[in-house]
Amino acid sequence: MKRRYFGTDGIRGRVGEPPITPDFVLKLGWAVGKVLAGQGQGKVLIGKDTRISGYMFESALEAGLSAAGVDIHLLGPMPTPAIAYLTRTLHAQAGIVISASHNPYHDNGIKFFSADGTKLPDEIELAIEAELEKEMVCNDSASLGKAVRVVDAPGRYIEFCKSTIASRISLAGCRMVVDCAHGATYHVAPAVFAELGAEVIPLGTEPDGLNINHDVGSTHITALRAAVIAQGADLGVAFDGDGDRVIMVDRRGDEVDGDELIYIIAADRHRAGRLRGGVVGTQMSNLGLEHALAGMDIPFRRARVGDRYVLELMQQEGWLLGGESSGHIICLDRTSTGDGIVSALQVLAAMVESGRELHELREGMEKYPQHMVNVALEPGRDPLGSDTLADAVRQVEAELNGTGRVLLRPSGTEPVIRVMVEGRDGRQVRTLAEQLADAVRAAAEAA
């Protein structure tokens, strides 16, 4: 059955435009409640990031769940991975996150965690969509759900984050800039690092409902770089609006992206004998990560782009570490989903244990130049099956001569084909990517 509303990471869109409207979210809460009520009486957690529309959608979800007879525990502004953690530890039937992650404030979304802190199973999402097609009917007053606020949610999560590294690890003497993107980590991330002994210089910790991800956070690290250099900090850490991604900056202001952070964590665990199996990346993971891991005899596999697919492949392989270049890193031996704070702590622990700085830990991985071109498509055009395009791909691969790779993939969010070429020579990579993009355009016109 094809999903009408659910994407790879819940439901997302612009506020006020279907389906991200108060009336739809009200009925979504009711539909979720009806599905969960059929599995036995329980409770559902609701958390959100800091965008202004969160107030509206929190109330709508609460009303819908209550109408279906399900109790609600309100967490307030909390990182997405915190909601996954609290769903498990508070023994809830599900956790709901109101967030559009790294998107601007005018977008929002709804995503869900199951009782074990992972994405909802397909059958539950399909059951919710089936309920959405029915008429909404409110329970009688005696069987409505109740709502309570969980006042100690931030403290619980802060303690959990600190517990993911050895108790002997101290960040004393580490001066770090912590950029919270004016998002959901604003009141927890600085506390985590400070309580472990670091001197924290906060950035992006003054949310006003409209400034989430605006020129700060993991997708806009210019401000973090400038702050690290101006403050003479040892490093900087940047999260996105809902706290499931992390990007770091070394003392020189150089970016350390998700691929490099995965390499640092994998290398540290490999040295300590704690890396079980290999590492899962995506189609977009840098070839340098694959080669660096191969140099340590660490297996590497690529999943489709999206943390959902990374997690699925990790579970299939029985591996504990995976993630994306964007900084969405999953450490399954620590938590059940991508967690920016937890991932940053694993890197900081590696620094402390090795006595090496961030720029030194990344030196074992050589990043290959990548160039991507987005080729816009007219509706109904699909050039990927073209024999002419296949010939063009083979020609580019022949020019790379085994020192790079080519990736053509349709975007999951807009009508474009993403053309990516990667190799050792940056100039050659750019030329070949543009050449291949022209071939995609020609094939689209002929389709």
Whole-angstrom distance, CA of residue 170 vs CA of residue 172: 5
Sheet with strand 329-331: strands edge to edge: 300-303, 279-282, 321-323, 329-331
Whole-angstrom distance, CA of residue 84 vs CA of residue 105: 22
β-strand pairing of 71-77 with 94-98: unpaired
Per the CB < 8 A criterion, the answer to whether 349 and 166 are in contact is yes
Whole-angstrom distance, CA of residue 447 vs CA of residue 445: 6
Q: How many Cα atoms within 13 Å fall on the side-chain side of residue 111?
A: 26
Cβ contacts of 120 within 8 Å, gap of 6 or more: 94, 112, 113, 114, 128
Per the CB < 8 A criterion, the answer to whether 238 and 247 are in contact is yes
What is the residue-wise DSSP string for 393-436?
HHHHHHHHTTS-EEEEEE-SSSSEEEEEEE-S-HHHHHHHHHHH
What end-to-end distance do the CA atoms of the chain give, in Å?
28
Per the CB < 8 A criterion, the answer to whether 380 and 431 are in contact is no
Whole-angstrom distance, CA of residue 82 vs CA of residue 103: 19
Known catalytic residues?
A: 101
Of 196, 244, 183, 247, the closest CA to residue 219 belongs to 247
Max CA pair span of the chain:
72
Count other Cβ atoms within 10 Å, centred on residue 295: 11
Rg of the chain over Cα atoms, rounded to whole angstroms, equals 23
What region does 208 belong to: left with phi over 0, alpha with psi -120 to 50, or beta? alpha
Whole-angstrom distance, CA of residue 358 vs CA of residue 192: 19
- Residue type present at position 353: E
Q: Residue 179 is encoded by which pair of tokens?
A: 């950029």
Query: Which pairs with CB-CB distance under 8 Å and at least 24 residues apart come from 34-42?
Result: 34/68, 34/131, 35/124, 35/127, 35/128, 35/131, 36/68, 36/70, 36/93, 36/94, 37/68, 37/69, 37/70, 39/93, 40/93, 41/69, 41/70, 41/71, 42/70, 42/71, 42/92, 42/93
Of 267, 269, 260, 286, the closest CA to residue 359 belongs to 260
